[in-house]
Structure 1
Amino acid sequence: MSSILEVSGISVSFDGFRAINNLSFSIGPAELRAIIGPNGAGKSTFMDIVTGKTRPDEGTVTFGERSLNCLRMSEAQIARAGIGRKFQRPTVFEDQTVTENLTLALKASRNPLRVLGWRRKLIDAERIAALAAQVGLADQLARKSGELSHGQKQWLEIGMLLAQEPRVLLVDEPAAGMTLAEREQTTAMLVDMAKTRAVVVVEHDMEFIRRLNCKVTVLHEGSVLAEGSLDHVTMNPAVIDVYLGRG
Structure 2
Amino acid sequence: MNTLLEVSGVSVSFDGFRAINNLSFRIGKAELRAVIGPNGAGKTTFMDIVTGKTRPDKGRISWGEKGLSLLGLSEARIAREGVGRKFQKPTVFEDQTVQSNLIVSLKNRRGPFAALFYRPGSGDFERVAALAGKIGLTAQLSRKAGELSHGQKQWLEIGMLLAQEPRLLLVDEPAAGMTLAEREKTTDILVEAAKTRAVVVVEHDMEFVRRLNCRVTVLHEGSVLAEGSLDHVTSNPDVIDVYLGR
**TM-score bracket for this pair, using the shorter chain length:** over 0.9
Structure-1 residue corresponding to 2:189: 189
Alignment of 1:48-127 (within 5 A): 48-127=48-127
Please state whether the residue corresponding to 1:192 is helix, strand or coil: helix
TM-score after normalising by structure 1: 0.98
Distance of 1:112 and 1:186 partners within structure 2? 33
1:221 corresponds to which letter in structure 2? E
1:35-54 pair list within 5 angstroms: 35-54=35-54
Following the alignment from structure 1 to structure 2, what is the Cα–Cα distance between the partners of residues 124 and 60? 38
Q: TM-score w.r.t. structure 2 length?
A: 0.99
**1:6-63 per-position Cα deviation (integer Å, ceiling 9, x unaligned):** 1000000000000000000000000000000000000000000000000000001111
Give ranges in structure 2 of 5+ residues lacking alignment. none
Partner amino acid, structure 2, of 1:130: A
Asked if 1:20 is matched to 2:20, the reply is yes
Paired position in structure 1 for 2:139: 139
Matched, 1:169 2:160: no
- 2:98 maps to amino acid: V
Which amino acid in the other structure matches residue 38 of structure 2? P
**Residue identity matched to 2:163:** A
Aligned length, in residue pairs? 246
1:155-213 C-alpha deviation (Å, 9 max, x unpaired): 00000000000000000000000000000011111111110000000000000000111
Moved beyond 2 Å, runs of 4+: none
- The Cα shift of 1:108 comes to 1.7
Contact 2:34 2:209 in 1 (8 A): yes
- Contact residue 217 and residue 226 of structure 2 kept, 8 A: yes
SS at match of 1:158: helix
In structure 2, C-alpha distance between the alignment counterparts of 1:112 and 1:105, rounded to whole Å: 14
Determine helix, strand or coil for the equivalent of 1:25: strand
CA displacement 1:101-148 (0-9 Å, x = unmatched): 111111123222222221110000000101111111011000000000
Counting aligned pairs with the same residue, the percent is 76
Task: Letter of the 2:45 partner, please give it.
Answer: T
